[in-house]
Amino acid sequence: MPPKHYRAPGKKKEGNAAKYITRTKATKYLQVSLNTFRKLCILKGIFPRVPKKKFEGNHKTYYSLKDITFLAHEPLLEKLRHKRAHEKKVKKAKARKNKELAERLLNRMPTYKLDRLILERYPTFVDALRDLDDCLTMVHLFASLPAVEGERIQVKRIHNCRRLSHEWQAFISRTHSLRKTFISVKGIYYQAEVQGQKITWLTPHALQQVLTDDVDFNIMLTFLEFYETLLGFVNFKLYNSINVKYPPILDPRLEALAAELYALFRYVATGSTRKPAENQSISSTEEKKDSDEKMDTCVNESDLQLAQLQHQLPSNEPGALMQLLEDSNNDDDDVDQDTIECKTLFKNLKFFLSREVPREALLFIIPAFGGVVSWEGEGTPFEETDEDIAYQIVDRPTQGHKFLSRHYVQPQWVFDCVNARIILPADAYMVGMVPPPHLSPFVDDEAEGYMPEYAETIKQLQATAKKNVMPLPDLDNQDLADPQNLIADGVMDRTQANEAAEERRKLQLLEKQYHDELKMEMSGITYSATLSNKKSENSGSEEMQHKDEVVVPVSTEKNDEDDRAKLYMSRKKRGLYEAIEISNQRKKDKVALLKERKRKASASKSG
């Protein structure tokens, strides 16, 4: 008798065996090592699959056979093979102690580009923006690592990551696209909105990072290689969208002072105001040579614009020419309301950062919301003694010298103002005080069913700033769904409540009468006997009549309806419904626990 999975020779494979292939067979089919196979899969975006039936055991890793067939014809595979052969030549030359040949071979190491793979994986720019979360997190992580020679990570890779991350932050800050920030134990979370896509990434805290042996840096460096290319393309596209030349050329003085982000802000701010046709050349010698030609072209362009504007100018309106000029240079026509709010949050406010605060995070956030920021050191926009400074960010127990014309606040105040979209009172964030709880903007309090006390305070401040009427306190979505709760709280009018109660009582009486008549008809009681029984019933007291009226509770009716609905469900839907009920019950228990903790904390404070 043949074995269970016996297949006659010459017969084609069927089912999962024909659709999937194990990793060991895939490496043998491609004739590559495991490290090269992993690198190919990461760069091409090929991931393992889970077939319904694992025909070679559960301990195997399976891939789609179609993906492996595509990999066999990948041009990058040939490049990697050439590179591996070249590395063998270098190794052989070093073993023979032929240093000249080894150096010559190292200088001629074959290279490859990932431009074509970027276009294959992301046909449109929106696709690249959707997949940018992990890319930004990885690039910001490597940008914070120590750039030390002799480590497992090359110094130029870390400098490149730092440059790409600063270019991204400069664009987000210039276009005021930042929406949410949150400080956590892992780092600082940011969320920006670029061309309608919400992008969330995590940056580590500005602490000394140590490279551990628990992490396989070879795999992470392969991901980083792809993400560096992707972020470079995205930055190029975004910078061109605001008429700024890419890559940016920074001020060498600021770059030497480790103020690359501020230098990028200045470059983007000056570059985005120029028209693409009016971009100046970089070298001063070329500027001197072409100055006369540029003056002529500028005069011609200005004459052409003036003629066009005079053609559109109404003759009877005195300031129309200036208005048209402002409209032609205004870039905020197509900006949504959210961007306008972010742009004007810290407008006309000056901030100064003390040396102990996280400078890069605040230097990124404050300009993104319209503020002007400076810090201690050389190359700063203004000094600490500037009288126009409104807020100084301090993170120390006490502050020695104080200026009476400014507020001294902790860094959390900036993050809370950004999330609330209003200028919060600085009294709770003063130096030496315990700040209020830092609430996450990524949590929906209404959906969770619990509103923290400070969140309610922020809502009231937001309503006061917008001059809106606040909703009634302690009003839940469940109360709005059940009008009985609103009647009890006095939200609904008393006459309307009485009318609703009367109609409900009448319906219950009619339903009871119908059931009684149906029972009498089944028992064979005549109509005359019914009339005589009615007279005796009418002579009864009103108390007995109210006792006979049985009001079914709403909760019991709802439970009965749920039970009846469960009977008509399939097993799969019933299990899903029960899982939803368990999840809702856990959420209610969590809310009850939070309320109990809040009650105990308030009792301990008062006691």
Q: What's the Cα-to-Cα distance from 461 to each of 339, 458, 468, rounded to whole Å?
A: 21, 5, 10
**What amino acid is encoded at 528 in this protein?**
S
CA distance 391 to 388: 9
How high is the pLDDT of residue 594?
A: 83
- Do the beta carbons of residue 346 and residue 371 sit within 8 Å? yes
- Do the beta carbons of residue 484 and residue 497 sit within 8 Å? no
* Other beta carbons within 10 Å of 446: 9
How high is the pLDDT of residue 207?
A: 84
- What does R_g of the chain's alpha carbons equal in angstroms? 36
Residue ranges of E strands in 31-187: 62-64, 178-183
**CB neighbour list of residue 19: distance below 8 Å, 6 or more residues apart:** 51, 64, 65, 66
CA distance 376 to 359: 10
**What amino acid is encoded at 100 in this protein?**
E
**What amino acid is encoded at 200 in this protein?**
T
How are strands ordered across the β-sheet holding 350-353? Answer: 372-375, 350-353, 389-393, 407-409
pLDDT, averaged per 10 consecutive residues of the chain (607 residues), comes to 58 75 92 92 92 86 92 90 90 90 89 90 93 94 84 86 90 91 93 92 88 84 93 93 83 61 70 48 42 45 41 36 35 66 87 89 91 84 87 86 88 92 89 88 80 84 69 43 48 58 76 76 62 55 47 60 77 84 84 83 76
How high is the pLDDT of residue 229?
A: 94
**What amino acid is encoded at 479 in this protein?**
D
How high is the pLDDT of residue 255?
A: 58
SS3 374: strand
Q: How far from each other are the two terminal CA atoms of the chain, in whole angstroms? A: 84
**pTM for this model (two decimals):** 0.70
Q: What's the Cα-to-Cα distance from 40 to each of 27, 34, 47, 154, 290, rounded to whole Å?
A: 11, 10, 10, 21, 49
Helix axes 453-466, 412-420, angle to 10 degrees: 60
Using the structure block, give the residue that is written with the tokens 């109509």: 527
CA distance 204 to 186: 6
